[in-house]
Chains A and B, each alone.
Chain A
Amino acid sequence: MACRLPTNSFLSASSFVHVSPSSHSLPIASSPTKTLSTASFYRRRPNITRAVLQWNRKPQLAGETPRVVVITSGKGGVGKTTTTANIGLSLARLGFSVVAIDADVGLRNLDLLLGLENRVNYTAVEVINGDCRLDQALVRDKRWPSFELLCISKPRSKLPLSFGSKAITWLVDALRSRTAGHPDFVLIDCPAGIDAGFITAIAPADEAVLVTTPDITALRDADRVTGLLECDGIRDIKMIVNRVRTDLIRGEDMMSVLDVQEMLGLPLLGVIPEDAEVIKSTNRGFPLVLNKPPALAGLAFEQAAWRLVEQDSMTAVMVEEEPKKRGFFSFFGG
Chain B
Amino acid sequence: MSYIFNALSLFPTQSLSNGNGGREFKVGNVANLEVLWFSKCRLRWSFRKACGFRVKSADNSIDSTGREQVEGGVRVDFSTKALESDKMAGSLHWRINDPPSFVVLVKRNAGSKYAVGFYIALTIVLIVAKQILSKRKIQTRHGSVAELVKRGQLRSNRRGISKLDLKYEDPFNNPQVKIEKNNSKIEMCGKVYRLAPVTLTQEQQLTHLQRRSRAYQWKRPTIFLKEGDLVPPNVDPDTVRWIPANHPFATTATELDENLAQNNVFQKDGVPFRVRAEHEALQKKLEALQSAQNEIGINQNNIHEWERSAERSSKLNEQVEPSASLEKQNDEFSSTGNKNLPDKLDKL
Contact = CB atoms under 8 A, between A and B. Distances in A.
B197 A46 contact: yes
Interface string B40-71: 11001100000000000000000000000011
B308 to A, nearest CB: 27
Contacts, number: 312
Interface in A151-208: 157-167, 170-171, 173-174, 177-179, 195-197, 199, 202-203
For the residues of B in contact with A, the DSSP-based class is mixed
A293 B224 contact: no
Given A129-B274, A164-B241, A223-B212, A319 B196 contact: yes
Given A227-B212, A230-B213, A130 B183 contact: no
A170 B267 CA distance: 11
B38 interface: no
B204 to A, nearest CB: 6
A306 to B, nearest CB: 9
In this complex, the member of B221, B225, B266, B329 whose beta carbon has the largest number of chain A beta carbons within 10 angstroms is: B329
Contacts of B225: 161
A24 B216 CA distance: 20
Chain B contact-residue range equals 35 or more
A48 B183 contact: yes
A300 to B, nearest CB: 10
Given A55-B170, A93-B168, A265 B264 contact: no
Contacts of A296: 176, 188-189
Contacts of B196: 46, 258, 316-320
Contact of B168 (A94, A173, A322): A94
Interface stretch (B132-140, B147-155, B248-256): B248-256
Contacts of A179: 268-269
Contacts of B179: 51-53
10 contacts: A51-B195, A134-B265, A140-B332, A163-B258, A167-B261, A231-B219, A289-B171, A296-B188, A319-B195, A332-B71
Given A55-B170, A128-B261, A136-B272, 20 more contacts: A48-B184, A51-B195, A56-B163, A129-B261, A131-B272, A131-B275, A133-B267, A133-B269, A135-B326, A138-B329, A161-B226, A162-B253, A170-B265, A227-B218, A231-B213, A265-B200, A265-B204, A266-B205, A317-B196, A332-B71
Interface of B: 40-41, 44-45, 70-73, 75, 157, 163, 166-177, 179, 182-202, 204-209, 212-213, 215-226, 241, 243, 247-254, 256, 258, 260-262, 264-270, 272-275, 277, 322, 325-326, 328-332, 348
